[in-house]
Amino acid sequence: MNMKIPKILTWIGLGAMTVGLINGFVNGDFLKDGKALLSNPWGVMSMIDLYVGFTLFSIWIVYREKHLLKSVIWTILMMVLGFFTGCIYVLIALYESKGDWNKFFKGRRA
């Protein structure tokens, strides 16, 4: 499989995340909306699900990266900005791997 489709899907994901974040910051109240979310059992479950995903994705980042500091920065960004950061990371990995799936998944370990 070439990397054209994953690149397109990741760009779409980044666009959706960008629009969603802008909408949230412009039209939402982070503290008020967060309080409402965390008062709902399914809201809490969604947050657990989200942060388990962030953590698992961050494990892949740490595995791929050469430098600990770079891994830490990407992980912090992941925990703060979520899959907006994940999309950026995947796009960079897709373009840097130049069509080599082994390099995409393993980074420095390829």
Domain borders along the chain are 4-109
Tell me what pLDDT residue 75 has: 97
What is the predicted pLDDT for the residue at 66?
Answer: 92
pTM of the entire predicted model: 0.91
Q: What end-to-end distance do the CA atoms of the chain give, in Å?
A: 18
Q: Residue 1 above 90 pLDDT?
A: no
Q: Are 51 and 76 in contact (CB under 8 A)?
A: no
- pLDDT class of 49 with cuts at 50, 70, 90: very high
Burial group, residue 78, by CB count within 10 angstroms (0-12, 13-18, 19+): buried
Q: Are 44 and 30 in contact (CB under 8 A)?
A: no
